[in-house]
Amino acid sequence: MQIEKFALKATIEKNQDMVYFSQLDLVSILIRALKRAELPLYYTQGFRPHVKLSFGKALKVGAAGLEEVTFYFTQKTLPRELCEKLSPQMPRGLTIVEIK
């Protein structure tokens, strides 16, 4: 049985102390924030399911800038709702700039 997934693309700004975290660290930080926000997350199918995220180009360690992330959900989620629930859960140095 295939579960339907809904995507929202967000632009996240990485600055301050967060510039010293790698892309893999950023993945686990975002997953923890998403779980704390209690959003209807989409999990991959298979033997070891994990939260589905997609990234654009990664920033170098030590570089501040913008990064694109696509979040996947099991229910339609409004961009405003995602921003309201996720923003308080994000660490200092990671901010949501735009959600499409």
Look at the alpha carbons of 77, 66, 17, 51 in this order and tell me if their dihedral is positive or negative: positive
Where do the domains of the chain lie, and which CATH numbers do they carry?
Answer: 6-99 (3.30.70.580)
CB 9 within 8 A of CB 70: yes
What is the rounded distance in angstroms from the CA atom of residue 92 to the CA atom of residue 18?
Answer: 8
Environment class of 95 (CB within 10 Å of its CB; exposed 0-12, middle 13-18, buried 19+):
middle
What is the rounded distance in angstroms from the CA atom of residue 71 to the CA atom of residue 10?
Answer: 8
What is the rounded distance in angstroms from the CA atom of residue 40 to the CA atom of residue 24?
Answer: 22
CB 7 within 8 A of CB 49: no
Q: How confident is the model at residue 4 (pLDDT cuts 50, 70, 90)?
A: confident
The pTM of this model reads 0.90
Q: What is the pLDDT of residues 85-100, one digit of tens each?
A: 999 999 999 999 999 8
Q: What is the pLDDT of residues 42-56, one digit of tens each?
A: 999 889 999 999 999
